[in-house]
């Protein structure tokens, strides 16, 4: 008897590619009418938890203040979860918006603010991801840092 369908989806997230695969596995179908963020807590054992939160009604264009406000939510979730599990953990974030899967300037700004807010709030972040109408794509920090001449 195959009971694998009853097993929770808890792969080890050893690499950034594993985080990408996780988002592509758990978020379906793609396509959104408005911007939203999904937050998933990752245990200290590098496995996703059952704690996933969808935050809608977010602005189409993130400011530093928006990112810091979201990071306070993440810090609270992580703090509550770490209180139950002494092994710490991290936060995986999927920023979703309607449209094509290429990174826009607004996407870069949003992710840049989230990475900075994570550092400021001491919230360990997994590689950020962008979800669009047709794809979930990784957004590495070096893709969003300002270009220097």
In the chain, the domains with their CATH numbers are 34-141 (3.40.140.10)
Of 31 and 130, more confident: 130
Cα angle, residue 89 at apex, residues 92 and 133 outer, rounded to 5°: 10
Residue 141: pLDDT band (50, 70, 90) is very high
Instruction: Please count the other Cβ atoms lying within 10 Å of the Cβ belonging to residue 87.
Output: 9
pTM: 0.88
Could you identify the residue written with the tokens 């979703």? 96
Q: Which two tokens stand for residue 143?
A: 């893709």
Q: Give pLDDT tens digits for 76-121.
A: 888 877 655 446 789 999 999 999 999 999 999 999 999 999 999 9
For residue 3, the model assigns a pLDDT of 45
CB-based contacts of 55, cutoff 8 Å, min separation 6: 36, 37, 38, 39, 70, 73
Residue 31 near residue 98 (C-beta atoms within 8 A) = yes
């Amino acid at each position: 008897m195959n009971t694998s369908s009853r097993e929770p989806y808890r792969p080890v997230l050893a690499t950034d590619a594993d985080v990408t695969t996780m988002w592509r596995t758990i978020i379906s179908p793609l396509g959104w009418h408005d911007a939203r963020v999904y937050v998933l807590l990752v245990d200290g054992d590098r496995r996703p938890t059952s704690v996933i939160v969808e935050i809608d009604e977010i602005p189409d264009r993130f400011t530093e203040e928006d990112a810091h406000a979201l990071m306070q939510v993440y810090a609270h979730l992580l703090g509550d979860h770490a209180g139950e599990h002494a092994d710490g953990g991290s936060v995986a974030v999927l920023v979703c918006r309607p449209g094509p899967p290429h990174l826009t300037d607004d996407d870069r700004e949003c992710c840049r603010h989230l990475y900075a807010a994570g550092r400021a709030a001491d919230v360990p972040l997994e590689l950020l991801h962008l979800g669009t109408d047709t794809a979930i794509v990784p957004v590495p920090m070096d893709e969003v840092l300002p270009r220097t001449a």
